[in-house]
Amino acid sequence: MDNFLMFQSFVISLFKTRLLLLLLRWQAGKIVSASDYNKVRSDLMMILLHNLLSVTGCGHIT
Radius of gyration of the chain (CA): 14
pLDDT per residue over 15-49, tens digit each?
888 888 888 877 777 766 778 778 878 888 888 88
DSSP string, 9-62: HHHHHHHHHHHHHHHHHHHTTPPPPHHHHHHHHHHHHHHHHHHHHHHHT-SS--
Domain boundaries, the chain: 1-56
d(CA 47, CA 57): 15
pLDDT of residue 59: 52
pLDDT for residue 7 is more than 60:
yes
pLDDT for residue 61 is more than 50:
no
pLDDT of residue 62: 40
* pTM exceeds 0.75: no
pLDDT of residue 47: 80
